[in-house]
A and B are shown apart, each in its own frame.
Chain A
């Protein structure tokens, strides 16, 4: 019997060499500044498998059975918290969610005491959000439990940055040589900071576009001190958007105007809103991302937010897959 060639329509999956688990060196996920390109690729590979799980009718696999994942939020959040909890549940972990305003924290318990209590209760991973930059780093000094930073102050939001990167990769195949433009309140944005680390590590060029009052004052020194390649600043949105592959407007918080950083909201809208007209200056297939929550009509026009180039809703779905991958990488395997 001779083996025949497949008839047309036969689907034979190919196997590809993929990154090995050995590249993963993290017990905590605090920021992307200490992530290598190989580690980020590994997260993508696993997130890709997780996104298949999310397409199933029953979105649950037993990978983290018996593990306990606690979400501890000192700041309001809807999507990040829901996303982490769903991710944990999809992996069959038990979840406990603590809201700082409704727990002993409201009675004055210190952060470290709260964390120690959670560890004593058997948490395998503590997912925390805190208004102080660096709070999760403090947590790691007092705990044996793994810590996942779900946003600290203005500093870092690694899972959001990874889902941004993953969404771009799903559409454009990768990040190398892409021009990414981040527009808006860079000064107060932990998402922008983590995105800069992640995107430049993966070889993208990042252009930051904002009025000077919404840029960190020592940005240029920081970039040269840390030798971050391919980051530039451009204050005019029209020139920033030229040739862009990805555009990410950031939320403009209304309080910024009161604090005197902006002369008026109307002026900001006129100069920086991502409109269809401005979007046409970018490459024709350019993607529009937004870390949410959006202020439609402020940093982004509704036509762009819900237009054909927007992948904002996909970011939310990808967020669950990315967080499943991160929880698997941190909590899977033997408990330490």
Chain B
């Protein structure tokens, strides 16, 4: 395995600032915006986006955290079930623009689960998706509204996102297996 850095602290901050502006523009301000971070790393990212958006306008943005464990579509086929953390969405989502925030956008399955979880909390006006990294390989018809960086990957690679609040530093790296295994190998 070799690990290569793709984004550093400054890149991540610039991406978040741009996404914050895009959220403001798309929703014509931030009055009815609720940010919901997906456990684990989406939560601090949502918090940072809120701070940036609050710096642009005068409104306070509600920030929540969402655990999708109870909504996963693979729950009955997992050997180890996930620990479930408390979902904490401080505002009523009905009539709001809910922006889901996650670190890596991959198959789209966790976003599907997150949308179900949000719908159980109320009826938002819209659900939007902001991700720090889009690595492709979607398995469901889902797309992101705000993307920090598109990183085309092989499915054998692993994208790792480090955030200050969890790992103590900000960076995005790709882990590549030493010997590339290809789909056409047999």
Contacts and interface: CB of A to CB of B under 8 A. Distances in A.
Interface of A: 1-7, 9-15, 18-22, 42, 45-46, 48-50, 52-53, 56-58, 60-63, 65-67, 91, 325, 328-329, 332-335
Nearest to A4: B55
Interface string B33-69: 0000101100110011011101100001111110101
18 contacts: A3-B13, A6-B51, A10-B50, A10-B61, A11-B63, A12-B50, A13-B64, A13-B88, A15-B40, A19-B83, A21-B80, A42-B83, A45-B83, A49-B70, A52-B88, A56-B121, A332-B75, A332-B81
A334 B17 contact: no
A333 B166 contact: no
Interface residues of B, number: 46
A21 B83 contact: yes
B71 interface: yes
Chain B CB within 10 A, most for which of A2, A13, A19, A21: A13
B90 A11 contact: yes
B86 interface: yes
A42 B85 CA distance: 10
A306 to B, nearest CB: 29
A15 B43 contact: yes
Contacts of B166: 15
B120 interface: yes
A255 B33 CA distance: 62
B88 A63 contact: no
Nearest to A10: B60
Residue from B62, B63, B85 having most chain A Cβ neighbours under 10 A: B85
A334 B76 contact: yes
Contact of A4 (B43, B44, B51): B51
Contacts of A91: 70
B71 A6 contact: no
A45 B85 contact: yes
Given A11-B63, A61-B71, A334-B76, A5 B51 contact: yes
A328 B121 CA distance: 21
B71 to A, nearest CB: 6
B54 A6 contact: yes
B84 interface: yes
A5 B50 CA distance: 10
A4 B77 CA distance: 44
Given A61-B71, A334-B77, A15 B83 contact: no
A12 B164 CA distance: 14
3 closest A-B pairs (Cβ-Cβ)?
A12-B47, A4-B55, A333-B81
Contact of B48 (A3, A14, A53, A334): A3
Contacts of A45: 83-85
B116 interface: yes
A58 B64 contact: no
A188 to B, nearest CB: 36
B107 interface: no
